[in-house]
Amino acid sequence: MEKVMVTGAVGQIGSELIPVLRKRLGAEKVIAAGHIKKPEKTLLESGPFQFIDCTDINTVAEVVRRHNVDTIYHLGAVLSASGEKAPQLCWNVNVKGLYNVLEVARQYHCSVFTPSSIGTFGPATPKIKTPQDTLQRPDTIYGVSKVAGELLCDYYHRRFGVDTRGVRYPGLISYKTAPGGGTTDYAVEIYFEAVQHKKYTCYLKKGTFLDMMYMPDAINAAINLMEADPSCLKHRNSFNVTAMSVAPETIAAAIKKVIPEFELNFEIDPLRQAIADSWPDSIDDSAAQKEWGWRPGYDLESMTKDVLKNIRVNLESK
Ligand SMILES: NC(=O)c1ccc[n+]([C@@H]2O[C@H](COP(=O)([O-])OP(=O)(O)OC[C@H]3O[C@@H](n4cnc5c(N)ncnc54)[C@H](O)[C@@H]3O)[C@@H](O)[C@H]2O)c1
């Protein structure tokens, strides 16, 4: 990694990955590539920023060529709940956009990191400790596009030798940038509501277990996988990674240890509940552990303390 481009730069993951990469590699070596949404002042002023549209290959190639990019973290995407509202857009951005990035990577000899998701699993997938290699028959357009993406990335590696790597992220919890329309967004909202109003109404049912991870671990996973010795990688796209399997009431119980008066209520959103019901309760990430030493640093309790503390600090400073 000498010169990196991060697409989806203004999104939940991009906005946190970029500062970490800039600290490691130097600000000028990391090109933040956003799409339409205006970036925060701190992102804009901390290094190079460009607008691209990954569905237009010329805009991707132009940045890679002009900045001599050798590594692409491709985070530009449409997420699960947003995808169900706009399936055509979801397919176009997630599949055509990725195809364009891979084509540019092939032509300009770049490595590519592309996150996949637990959304690539479907109702027929084993639900508990879902294996690395298993049945993937998702019934959301997001899942369909992400399975296609995993296969496309493997194909570009096998057929053209492009160094493609990826993880299947679970729901990601962070406090810096709001999530972008995923099914697990409740796990971010619950913390903000706990600090501000001491109560939260959840759109998923009690007992809906899903895997989750704190953002610092997600960032480490992306960087550690890209820095891993390729000869150790039997898989490439995409590794199961997880930190915890939680349901709304288990997060609420962890919050109550810090804010005892916190109250959790339910008002179910059928669209997001159906998506969550089609995903695993927990996934097995032993392949990532074995092949590139994956280990999460945070569990539910340590994450909850850190998120609540930081939300409070941010609100007070405003
Ligand atoms: N956040 C999660 O919980 C989670 C979980 C699993 C996988 N992922 C995956 O991680 C990646 C990043 O997710 P995120 O949470 O940061 O999403 P996000 O929605 O916060 O950010 C995605 C970004 O993509 C950009 N984008 C949309 N259309 C684009 C286009 N045509 N060209 C270029 N950029 C475009 C959007 O402007 C947005 O800023 C995605 O591939 C997503 O599927 C995220």
Please give the pLDDT value at position 61.
98
Predicted TM-score of the model (pTM)? 0.96
CB 61, CB 108: distance < 8 Å: yes
The predicted structure's pLDDT at residue 177:
86
Q: What local confidence, expressed as pLDDT, does residue 68 receive?
A: 97
What pLDDT, on the 0 to 100 scale, is given for residue 1? 78
Return the number of other C-beta atoms located less than 10 Å from residue 245's C-beta: 18
Candidate of 10, 31, 35, 215 to mutate for ligand 1, largest count of ligand atoms within 8 Å of Cβ:
35
**What pLDDT, on the 0 to 100 scale, is given for residue 180?**
83
Q: Is the CB of 241 under 6 A from ligand 1?
A: no
Centre of ligand 1 from the C-alpha of residue 83, in Å = 11
User: How confident is the model at residue 178, as a pLDDT?
Assistant: 85
Mean pLDDT by 10 residues, the chain (318 residues): 95 97 97 95 95 98 98 97 96 98 98 98 96 97 98 98 98 91 94 97 98 98 98 96 98 98 97 95 98 98 98 91
Quick one: pLDDT at residue 181? 87
Q: Would you call the peptide bond into 245 cis, given omega within 30 degrees of 0 as the criterion?
A: no
Q: Is residue 35 within 6 Å of ligand 1 at its C-beta?
A: yes
